């Protein structure tokens, strides 16, 4: 039987602009994509790719890893994931679940390109769009939409169980398909506002905060990169950010990174060097210095004697990863 793919979602620039600027329009797009995926689970042409567990937590330039899985839904164009064990490609209709701790880089192919990226945090999960403007230039990230509710932990457990099944050689089967279906269903049901918006009246600064919240672990994260994504100059965003929040941009980035590091020290079995890399610090010594300045103690001193694999079966306690202005 010939392999078939669902018709890709191709958005005109005007339609893309209208979606990017309105949260309700983005939510409607997420819902439509998730519902269509749910209806097609198990059909010919629907591929779920889970990379082989290899090279976890390696410090590879240009290939960050995360403390939770990352889930990609490819709608149009192709994403090539550069992984320690090789390359995995995702075309229209494909889904890729990148396991916890797996270094990965991404390359984007196609004049028309659109995907949805799902990321899991301690108290929320987030979705955002990857797209190309008018089919040209680098990939851009749409606004980050964060959602809360009890379904987020169940969705994360489903993702972790899917990775475990794939590692055991059950890359295709009724149990994996059932978990995949449950993951899509949990995400669909969990799409609801995550609570009050940040107390910031400057839309550009709020977008900046969202970008820091999701992309802080990038080793190439910089004010220049952030300004390019926000289409303004580094000086402009730096001045507006400090006027709105009272913080320098680098202070906000460090606050987000150190909050995440505290969570990993408490809830993961990563060593300090691995945590530094996962939080966007290329050098553990620099991480130690920033961590001590922020907390008054070294990472090793704050390491909990009881380490539990994240996520636990119970609701995680509110901790230092939450950051507000």
Domains within the chain, CATH numbers bracketed: 13-190 (no CATH), 203-302 (1.10.10.60)
Span 13-32, mean pLDDT? 86
The share of the chain scoring above pLDDT 90, in percent, equals 37
Burial of 242 (0-12, 13-18, 19+ CB in 10 A): middle
Does the pLDDT value for residue 317 go beyond 80? no
Q: Which of 120-124, 140-144, 158-162, 290-294 has the lowest mean pLDDT?
A: 120-124
Full-model pTM: 0.72
Strands (E), the chain: 48-49, 70-83, 86-90, 95-98, 105-120, 125-133, 136-141, 145-147
Does the pLDDT value for residue 52 go beyond 80? yes
Give me Rg for the CA atoms of the chain. Answer: 19
Does the pLDDT value for residue 321 go beyond 80? no
Coil vs helix vs strand at 312: coil
Of 164, 28, 165, 19, residue with least CA distance to 100: 164
Does the pLDDT value for residue 247 go beyond 50? yes
Of 63, 59, 100, 68, residue with least CA distance to 83: 63
Does the pLDDT value for residue 295 go beyond 80? yes
Predicted pLDDT at 324: 45
Does the pLDDT value for residue 7 go beyond 70? no
Of 151, 123, 197, 206, residue with least CA distance to 34: 151
Q: Dmax over Cα atoms in the chain, in whole Å? A: 63
Does the pLDDT value for residue 316 go beyond 60? no
The share of the chain scoring above pLDDT 70, in percent, equals 86
Does the pLDDT value for residue 3 go beyond 70? no
Predicted pLDDT at 73: 96
Of 269, 320, 280, residue with least CA distance to 296: 320
Does the pLDDT value for residue 198 go beyond 70? no
Average pLDDT in the chain:
83
Predicted pLDDT at 259: 87
Does the pLDDT value for residue 180 go beyond 90? yes
Specify which residues 98 forms β-bridges with.
70
Ranges 4-8, 166-170, 182-186, most confident:
182-186
Strands (E), 121-170: 125-133, 136-141, 145-147
Does the pLDDT value for residue 194 go beyond 80? no
């Amino acid at each position: 039987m010939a392999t078939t793919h669902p018709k890709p979602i191709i958005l005109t620039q005007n339609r893309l602009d209208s979606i990017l600027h309105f949260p309700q329009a983005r939510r409607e797009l997420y819902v439509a994509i998730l519902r269509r995926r749910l209806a097609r689970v198990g059909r010919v042409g629907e591929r779920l790719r889970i990379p082989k567990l290899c090279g976890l937590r390696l410090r590879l330039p240009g290939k960050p890893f995360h403390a939770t899985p990352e889930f990609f839904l490819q709608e149009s164009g192709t994403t090539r994931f550069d992984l320690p064990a090789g390359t995995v490609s995702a075309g229209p209709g494909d889904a890729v679940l990148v396991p916890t701790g797996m270094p990965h880089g991404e390359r984007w192919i196609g004049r028309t390109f659109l995907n949805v990226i799902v990321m899991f945090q301690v108290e929320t999960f987030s979705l955002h769009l990857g797209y190309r403007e008018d089919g040209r230039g680098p990939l851009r990230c749409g606004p980050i939409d964060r959602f809360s509710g009890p379904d987020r932990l169940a969705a994360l457990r489903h993702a972790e169980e899917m990775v475990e099944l794939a590692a055991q050689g059950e890359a295709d089967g009724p149990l994996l398909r059932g978990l995949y279906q449950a993951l899509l269903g949990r995400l669909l049901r969990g799409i609801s506002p995550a609570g009050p918006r940040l107390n910031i009246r400057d839309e550009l600064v709020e977008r900046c905060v969202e970008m820091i919240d999701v992309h802080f672990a990038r080793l190439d994260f910089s004010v220049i990169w952030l300004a390019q994504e926000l289409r303004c100059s580094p000086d402009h965003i730096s001045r507006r950010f400090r006027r709105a929040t009272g913080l320098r941009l680098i202070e906000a980035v460090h606050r987000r990174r150190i909050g995440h590091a505290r969570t990993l020290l408490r809830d993961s079995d990563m060593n300090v060097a691995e945590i530094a890399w996962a939080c966007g610090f290329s050098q553990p010594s620099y991480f130690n210095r920033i961590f001590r300045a922020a907390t008054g103690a070294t990472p090793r001193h704050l390491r909990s004697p009881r380490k539990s694999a994240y996520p636990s079966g119970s609701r995680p306690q509110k901790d230092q990863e939450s950051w507000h202005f």
